[in-house]
């Protein structure tokens, strides 16, 4: 069944993910038969049903600009894939409650940041927002929490694409559930990025009867998120989250480490992921994989974001409130009850891709 309603969304963080989301909305909104779109219909909704009505950022170089202009302002470095037409949304000043990493502080020009949770909630209410999508930088846990609280006050569902621990906050989860809203997160997983690729290789080895012994994944990139992640505290937190997501793919313990290792400015929005995996086959015969993957960070998020947004709207319309595990597992590294790749996709398909 194809739905006829619009999905009104707001975004916090006008960075590279926001850029591909907006370009994808205009590109596939006109023609969803064009190559590259993973699922034309999710939960009865097409891409053309999604409408961005509000946007927030803390960079004064973006605040006040038309959203279709702001997404191309430095330090954003996603390519211009689409000649965009303005849809009349200007970037508003966002919330900042955290210490910025030295790298992020050097990359942006801070606005005045005298914005409260109540200010954001009022804007969301006036904009009749259905879903608030959190796309701010890693390491901004207090700000992410504040945006979630604003969504709750405004009666919006909330998608946390950052590594900030939102879905483990029992108070928030209960608040969204009691308000008959959907809460999804944490840490968006790319369509074909390092984490899902790593999980896929391990899953295939396990299915073929290979005993996985050790693995590691090293990521190097040139986007703002990578620059921010080389802050030692943020790097450590991301490493734990990524590693836990990867080891969950195999039903036994093995040694694994995964994380960002460095920032290389001339890579731009590109990311290089290196994988080393050791396994054991028949008669203890050694099997080793030594491989690297080159991708573009921004576009890798596009399909997942479009799918998750549409699934969240369907879930709310059909009485799934609070944490919706099959959406969390489908699109995020941290989820309430972890499933492997095959199980998570099958569950998502059964409910949202009928």
The DSSP annotation for 234-264 comes to: HHHHHHHHHHHHHHTTSSS--EEEEEEEEE-
- pLDDT tens digits, one per residue of 74-87: 999 999 999 999 99
Q: Are 251 and 342 in contact (CB under 8 A)?
A: no
Q: What is the mean pLDDT of residues 286-299?
A: 95
Helix, strand, or coil (residue 212): strand
> Nearest CA to 163 among 256, 99, 237, 257?
237
Type and span of the H or E element at 224: helix 224-229
Q: Is 230 helix (H, G, I), strand (E, B) or coil?
A: coil
Give the span between the Cα atoms of 94 and 119, in whole angstroms. 10
Per-residue model confidence as pLDDT tens digits over 84-121: 999 999 999 999 999 888 888 888 999 877 899 999 99
Q: Tell me the average pLDDT across 238-243.
A: 91
% the chain with pLDDT above 70: 99
Angle 113-117-120 (CA atoms, 0-180°, nearest 5)? 80
Residues 208-239 have pLDDT tens digits of 999 999 999 999 999 888 988 888 888 898 89
Q: What is the phi/psi pair of residue 352, to 5°?
A: -110, -15
How high does pLDDT run on average in the chain?
Answer: 95
Adjacent-strand bridge partners of 296: 270
Residue 1 clears pLDDT 60, i.e. is over it: no
- Phi first, then psi: give them for residue 149, nearest 5 degrees: -65, -40
The region of weakest confidence among 105-119, 126-140, 178-192, 274-288 is 105-119
pLDDT level of residue 133 (50, 70, 90 thresholds)? very high
- Select from 328, 271, 265, 335 the least CA-distant residue to 299: 271
State both tokens at 64.
Answer: 């006040």
Domains belonging to the chain, first-starting first, are: 7-189+299-352 (3.40.50.720), 194-297 (3.30.360.10)
C-alpha torsion sign, points 234, 218, 307, 303: positive
Task: Specify which residues 295 forms β-bridges with.
Answer: 271
Interval 326-344 mean pLDDT? 94
Q: DSSP letter string over 31-60?
A: -TTSTT-S-S-BTTB-GGGEEEEEEEESBT
Secondary element (H or E) of residue 67: helix 67-70
């Amino acid at each position: 069944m194809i739905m006829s309603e619009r999905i009104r969304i707001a975004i916090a963080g006008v960075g590279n993910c926001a850029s591909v989301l907006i370009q994808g909305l205009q590109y596939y909104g006109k023609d969803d038969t064009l190559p590259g779109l993973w699922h034309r219909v999710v939960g009865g909704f097409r891409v053309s049903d999604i409408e961005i009505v509000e946007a927030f950022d803390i960079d004064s170089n973006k605040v006040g600009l038309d959203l279709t202009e702001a997404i191309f302002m430095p330090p954003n470095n996603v390519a211009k894939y689409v000649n965009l037409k303005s849809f009349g949304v200007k970037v508003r000043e966002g919330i900042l409650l955290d210490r910025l990493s030295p790298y992020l502080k050097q990359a942006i020009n801070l606005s005045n940041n005298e914005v409260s949770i109540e200010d954001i909630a009022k804007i969301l209410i006036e904009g009749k927002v259905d879903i608030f999508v959190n796309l701010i930088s890693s390491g901004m846990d207090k700000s992410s929490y504040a945006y979630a609280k604003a969504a709750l006050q405004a009666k919006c569902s909330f998608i946390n694409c950052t590594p900030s621990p939102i879905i483990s906050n029992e108070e928030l989860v209960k608040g969204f559930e009691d308000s008959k809203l959907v809460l999804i997160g944490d840490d968006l997983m790319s369509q074909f990025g390092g984490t899902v690729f790593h999980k896929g290789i391990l899953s295939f080895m396990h299915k073929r009867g290979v005993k996985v012994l050790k693995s590691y994944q090293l990521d190097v990139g040139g986007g703002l998120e990578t620059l921010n992640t080389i802050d030692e505290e943020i790097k450590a937190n991301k490493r734990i989250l990524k590693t836990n997501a990867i080891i969950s793919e195999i039903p036994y313990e093995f040694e694994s480490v995964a994380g960002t290792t460095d920032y290389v400015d001339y890579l731009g929005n590109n990311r290089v992921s290196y994988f080393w995996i050791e396994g054991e086959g028949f008669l203890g015969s050694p099997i080793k994989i030594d491989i690297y993957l080159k991708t573009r960070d921004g576009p890798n998020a596009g399909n997942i974001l479009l799918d998750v947004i549409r699934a969240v709207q369907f879930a709310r319309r059909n009485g799934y409130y609070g944490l919706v595990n099959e959406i969390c597992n489908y699109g995020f590294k941290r989820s309430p009850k972890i499933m492997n790749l095959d199980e998570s996709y099958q569950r998502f398909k059964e409910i949202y891709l009928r």
